[in-house]
Structure 1
Amino acid sequence: MPFPPRLAHLATRAVVVARLGPTYATAHRVDAEEASQRLSAALKGPLLTSLLEATWTQMLGRTKRLKEEGLLEKVATTLAERPLRPGRVAPLTPGWSAFLILVDLEVGTASDAARRVMESDEGRRRAAAGLTEVAGFLAQELTRGK
């Protein structure tokens, strides 16, 4: 499902990196700056679009009372004061691990073995599940404001 253009204006690459950075840094045992650089590089391509589409789908599925415009206003309100506030560290699950491997593949830090696994049918299935799980986390991060 395509997402509204306003979502991309609110949830910019920098905002998404800030929200996912702490989990990436914890999982890879790197500092926050290194995590931000890697995530930013990975999200320059189609991965950001895929993540925003999945996040929008998750947002729509979680609310019954808010329509699209109300949901976008909630995101705007959440991001109004501190848009680059770091997100919470998510517990690492198989879904998160698959997403983090996708990020590493985009950046070029993943091994050839990881690439081969992610190119298999099982790897693609896990990558899709991971993208959905991370999108759910991002949807919570973007709508947990007032």
Structure 2
Amino acid sequence: MRYPPRLGHLATRPVVVNRLVPTYAKAHNIDEQEASQRLTRALAGRIWEDLLAATWEAMKGRVKRLDELRLLDKVFNTLEERPLRYGRAMETNPAWSAFMMMLDLEIGTAGDAARRVMETEQGRKMMAAGLAEAGMFLATELTKGK
């Protein structure tokens, strides 16, 4: 496994969905309820494992002084009081746009032209950058507590 199992027990799908809702809703110009539903569907698929792995890599790079156990304790402490609070809305950039496109492709709201673009070498690089960007955002959101 590319991340400790405990991370998946702490950063559950509802926790991660709620952290991403404001950015997704803003990027798609939809309400938060619709954004939550779409994100829940998208993260039920194959993206989930990759997103947690990217989040773990970003956490390890962001908080180098903590070992695995203390880093996971920091996530626990951050989520302890309000685990389902919304994250902050991020301004979109090319990496965020690629991550949003990955989610849209997963749930079928993106067209065939978008799928073809994302299947190119450049598209795969952008999706990797988008996953890393989303992982860094989640790493920050999940470790900013006590």
Fold match (TM-score > 0.5)? yes
Query: Once the 2 structures are TM-superposed, how far is the Cα of residue 66 of structure 1 from its aligned partner?
Result: 0.6
User: Residue 70 of structure 1 aligns with which residue?
Assistant: 70
Q: Does 1:121 align with 2:121?
A: yes
One-letter code aligned to 2:102: L
Query: Once the 2 structures are TM-superposed, how far is the Cα of residue 94 of structure 1 from its aligned partner?
Result: 0.2
One-letter code aligned to 1:95: A
The count of corresponding residues between Structure 1 and Structure 2 is: 146
Q: Please give the alpha-carbon distance, in whole angstroms, between the structure 2 residues aligned to 1:87 and 1:64.
A: 23
User: Residue 29 of structure 1 aligns with which residue?
Assistant: 29
Q: Please give the alpha-carbon distance, in whole angstroms, between the structure 2 residues aligned to 1:130 and 1:64.
A: 22
Render the CA deviation track for 1:10-43: whole Å, top value 9, x for unaligned.
Answer: 0000000000010000000000000000000000
Q: Please give the alpha-carbon distance, in whole angstroms, between the structure 1 residues aligned to 2:5 and 2:132.
A: 20
User: Residue 105 of structure 2 aligns with which residue?
Assistant: 105
Q: Please give the alpha-carbon distance, in whole angstroms, between the structure 2 residues aligned to 1:124 and 1:109.
A: 19
Task: Report the 3-state secondary structure (helix = DSSP H, G, I; strand = E; otherwise coil) of the residue aligned with 2:139.
Answer: helix
Render the CA deviation track for 1:86-120: whole Å, top value 9, x for unaligned.
Answer: 00001111000000000000010001111110011
Task: Report the 3-state secondary structure (helix = DSSP H, G, I; strand = E; otherwise coil) of the residue aligned with 1:85.
Answer: coil
In the alignment, structure 1 segments of 5+ residues that lack a partner are none
One-letter code aligned to 1:6: R
User: Residue 57 of structure 2 aligns with which residue?
Assistant: 57
Q: Does 1:88 align with 2:71?
A: no
Q: Please give the TM-score of this superposition, normalised by the length of structure 2.
A: 0.98
Identity in percent: 62
Query: Once the 2 structures are TM-superposed, how far is the Cα of residue 64 of structure 1 from its aligned partner?
Result: 2.3
Q: Please give the alpha-carbon distance, in whole angstroms, between the structure 2 residues aligned to 1:33 and 1:26.
A: 12
Q: Please give the TM-score of this superposition, normalised by the length of structure 1.
A: 0.98
